[in-house]
Structure 1
């Protein structure tokens, strides 16, 4: 059998692409070195934030809004609590570039949002105690995605539509000709007409089989949960949030299903090699210390650390995504470098990859994610 499309890397983007390709009637093989959903990539830890007003630049807003439409569709299709509309509070100083970009996004796209002072924030959500020099933009229609439920939903739906999965699979050889792609696994040989590479931190390992290397920098990251007063921090009463004062960047979640609040630091981290096992939480002092200091300074000194986990960011030099055809291989697509802020977009990225593979063009402009910017 020759598949229409093979997807190497069945994580957030790969599973989404596999679902939308299968939904379009294409035969799909999804290949992963683990058995998704798993804890070796960037999608575990239960939750991810989706923001519409985007501090990383207004160019992301159409992608965020389309992603939200698709998350709503998936939620309805699979009848799961995939999305919680908690709202998202973006916090920073009045000179924060991040916050100014958020405000620009709100105005340009007429998003539903409120600009609030620190005093107003502290009054509305008693779980915050922000100093006066900070302010916030509260997006009412944004919220929290249940990341592992999302991946399992995509996998189940793709399987029901006929997609084939090759898990715990190591790729020994990759051959690309004008006719087809041949992927040699330990015990299988897969042939396909097109290839999509969505392999996260392992992207360059796959691309090296074709003589390519992209400017990708895997980083070990951590996130933590804290025991809280549910009457203050439960998702029915408290928003998800992002914090950027220029010198430090954090993000956090309300307590969902009484799990406690979850907080991570977006900047920093320790570089890792693609094939390197992540060091366990607590290996470095800052794993627990950074987020604990943040909580005690800006939320409450009485909140106690509960547990922590590790994950991976795969960063590009500019923090923006790569979604493009591989030069000289027009039937090989690559999507990578999501730099710790990509999960929220994975529904739309999967749709865009399916469009690119099927008809050679996309419904949204993906030129900002071209490989040309690194040439």
Structure 2
């Protein structure tokens, strides 16, 4: 059987693209080294934030807003929880570039954004204990995405539409010409007209089979859940999603979802992975626990305690923007990677855009800023 599109990497972006391709009538094969959703990629851990007034750059806002509409549409197609509108508070010292960009992008795109003092924040959400010099920007329409539910739902819908999924399979070789692509697996081979590589931290393991190495750095990251005697202050009904930015660090977090505890992670720093296949478990390094615990005790509650910690992977580009483009010299092979720890919220919009690019050569949202040509070495 020959497929219209073969997708290597069936995580957040790959599974989304697979679903939208099948919605347009394409015959799709999805390949993954594991059995998604799983804990070997970047989509596990239960939850992700979606923000609209975007501190990483105003060019992301149209994609965020379009993705939001698609998340709400997906919510209607499943009994799984996809999106919860908790609101998202970005807070830190006034004047930081990130916070000023949040404010500017809200003004440019006429997004509702409430400017709050530390006193106002502490009063509205008693779970916070912010310093007087803190300022916050609250987006009431943003919230929480349930990441593993998303991947599971896209998989179910794609299979219902006729997609084939090859799980626990590793790509051994890729043979390509202008008309056909052959992907050789640990168990057989499949053929297709087009190929999408969305393999996260394993992207370069795939592209090197074609003689191409992309500017990607897989980074080991951690996130943790915490318990407190004041759990009622941190429930999904009483506490927002949030991000904290200052000159030295960036943290993010979630309310306690169904009693799981307060979830906190550090967005900056992390340890580069020498071997993307070997992810050292939580607790390997002292900072795994110490960083987020010290932060939580400073800004939330003195009685907070670590409940559980896990590891995940960011796959970073040099500028921390994404790569979405055709590979050099291959008009029928696309790559989507480098989502750098802030990509999941866009998975619906990017998946739909990838499907459109692979069928109609035109995306719903402008993705020009993610071209490979911005890196001289490619």
Same structural fold, with TM-score higher than 0.5 when normalized by the shorter chain: yes
- SS of 2:257's equivalent? coil
- SS of 2:205's equivalent? helix
- SS of 1:257's equivalent? helix
Residue 207 of structure 2 corresponds to which residue in structure 1? 207
Q: Matched residues in 2 for 1:42 and 1:287: separation?
A: 17
- SS of 1:137's equivalent? strand
Q: Matched residues in 1 for 2:197 and 2:6: separation?
A: 8
Asked if the contact 1:205/1:274 (under 8 Å) is kept, the reply is: no
Output aligned runs, 1:18-57, within 5 Å.
Answer: 18-57=18-57
Residue 91 of structure 2 corresponds to which residue in structure 1? 91
Q: CA deviation at 1:358?
A: 0.3
Q: Matched residues in 1 for 2:276 and 2:103: separation?
A: 40
Asked if the contact 2:218/2:276 (under 8 Å) is kept, the reply is: no
Deviations 1:19-56 (A, max 9, x none): 00011100000000111000001000000000001000
Q: CA deviation at 1:230?
A: 2.8
Aligned residues: 375
For normalisation by structure 1, the TM-score amounts to 0.99
Q: CA deviation at 1:274?
A: 4.8
Q: Which segment is superposed worse, 353-362 or 275-284? A: 275-284
Deviations 1:202-257 (A, max 9, x none): 00010001000010000000000001323210010100000111210000000111
Q: Matched residues in 2 for 1:181 and 1:324: separation?
A: 17
- SS of 1:5's equivalent? strand
Q: Matched residues in 2 for 1:275 and 1:263: separation?
A: 23
Q: Matched residues in 2 for 1:185 and 1:81: separation?
A: 34
Q: Which runs of 5+ in 2 are unaligned?
A: none
Residue 244 of structure 2 corresponds to which residue in structure 1? 243
Alignment partner of 1:286 is 2:283? no
Residue 326 of structure 1 corresponds to which residue in structure 2? 327
Q: CA deviation at 1:16?
A: 0.1
Q: Which segment is superposed worse, 309-318 or 105-114? A: 105-114
Residue 101 of structure 1 corresponds to which residue in structure 2? 101
Q: Which runs of 5+ in 1 are unaligned?
A: none
Q: Matched residues in 2 for 1:276 and 1:159: separation?
A: 28
Q: Matched residues in 1 for 2:277 and 2:36: separation?
A: 19
- SS of 2:301's equivalent? coil
Residue 181 of structure 1 corresponds to which residue in structure 2? 181
Residue 77 of structure 1 corresponds to which residue in structure 2? 77
Output aligned runs, 1:207-286, within 5 Å.
Answer: 207-228=207-228, 229-286=230-287
Deviations 1:52-100 (A, max 9, x none): 0100000000010011000000001113221110000011211210000
Q: Matched residues in 2 for 1:123 and 1:109: separation?
A: 29
Asked if the contact 1:223/1:265 (under 8 Å) is kept, the reply is: yes
Moved over 2 A (4+): 273-276
Q: Matched residues in 1 for 2:99 and 2:177: separation?
A: 47
Q: Matched residues in 1 for 2:258 and 2:66: separation?
A: 27
Q: Matched residues in 1 for 2:162 and 2:22: separation?
A: 7
Deviations 1:156-212 (A, max 9, x none): 000100000001101111011011100001222110000000000000010001000
For normalisation by structure 2, the TM-score amounts to 0.98
Asked if the contact 1:250/1:263 (under 8 Å) is kept, the reply is: yes
Q: Matched residues in 2 for 1:246 and 1:38: separation?
A: 34
- SS of 1:78's equivalent? coil
